[in-house]
Structure 1
Amino acid sequence: MTVLAQAIDSTYWGFVGRGVGAILLYAVIGVLLMLLGFWAIDLTTPGKLPAMVRAGLPNAVTITAAGMLSMAFIIVVAIYNSSGSLLEGIISSLIFGLVGIIAQVAAVRILEWVTGIDIGEVIQAEERRAAATVVAAAHLALGLIVAVAVV
């Protein structure tokens, strides 16, 4: 037996294997929730958001980037706060991540309505609009609020 093999506890490799498996599962959940978050933003935004982003429309890019960051806040906190067994952690991450995404999208749309911002006009404009910064800030702020609510 080598010195290294003697120095490592016999349960070590099982621990490492479970840890690697958990990382991969949470990464898949994170990616799926991010995709769902993007789809939710696209669904609730006038026009085809992916096409506007690919075309480089500055307001679409700004608002989408802020929306994705806000979704990441929510998903990270949902994963961080998951507890119990791995299965319980995955289920709670999915539930809290989904509820957080729904709350985030609804809150931003309500804020846009209250402020009177015509998001369809702003997001499709070819020049930068100040209102896009307001919507982006709202995404980030509300994403943080919803993320902390997950705690």
Structure 2
Amino acid sequence: MTQQQLALDPGFGGVIVGNIGAIALYAVVGLILMVFGFYAIDWTTPGKLSALVRNGAPNAVIVTASGLVSMALIIVVAIWSAQGKLSEGLLSALIYGIVGIIVQVAAVRLLEWVTRLDIGALIESDRFAPASVVVAAAHVALGLVVGVAII
């Protein structure tokens, strides 16, 4: 009968510490991009988005949440495509994240023009409007498109 060793491989602790550092750095970049994305949507949309979300305006919450999910998708794909290279992953997440924010803002404005939706009035409404799901779907769809383009 053989005994199993309980010893860890040499360097295990260094790998763990390095990965924790990478997680922290990616989290900071992701948070910065999500905050920037939120304010880009807020700045380009009539009404005060942060106040609407805080007050629970359902359409504002749906549009904001979909924008954040879309941004996270872009960041995740950028990190994954870096294949473990931290500096490349951080830089690509930052670059693709900014491009994704620009594309999303432009696309929502285009969607507003094509569909003749008044997105400002839509997100300010206290009642759920099905059209907010269309805007949310546009955010997520663009996140998918940008994400796949990264690959």
- For the aligned residue pairs, the C-alpha RMSD in angstroms reads 1.6
- TM superposition shift of 1:9: 2.7
Q: What is the CA deviation profile of residues 76-130 of structure 1, one whole-angstrom value per residue up to 9, with x for unaligned ones?
A: 1112212464222211221111112211221222122111111111111121222
2:148 is matched by which residue type in structure 1?
A: V
- 1:91 is matched with which residue? 91
- TM superposition shift of 1:21: 0.9
2: distance between equivalents of 1:136 and 1:84? 31
Paired residue total: 147
2:8 is matched by which residue type in structure 1?
A: I
- TM superposition shift of 1:48: 0.6
Q: Which residues of structure 2 form unaligned runs of 5+? A: none
1: distance between equivalents of 2:88 and 2:31? 19
- 1:13 is matched with which residue? 13
- 1:73 is matched with which residue? 73
- 1:132 is matched with which residue? 132
TM norm structure 1:
0.88
Contact 2:74 2:93 (8 Å CA) reproduced: no
2:134 is matched by which residue type in structure 1?
A: V
Q: What is the CA deviation profile of residues 23-57 of structure 1, one whole-angstrom value per residue up to 9, with x for unaligned ones?
A: 11111111111111111111111111000111111
1:60 is matched by which residue type in structure 2?
A: A
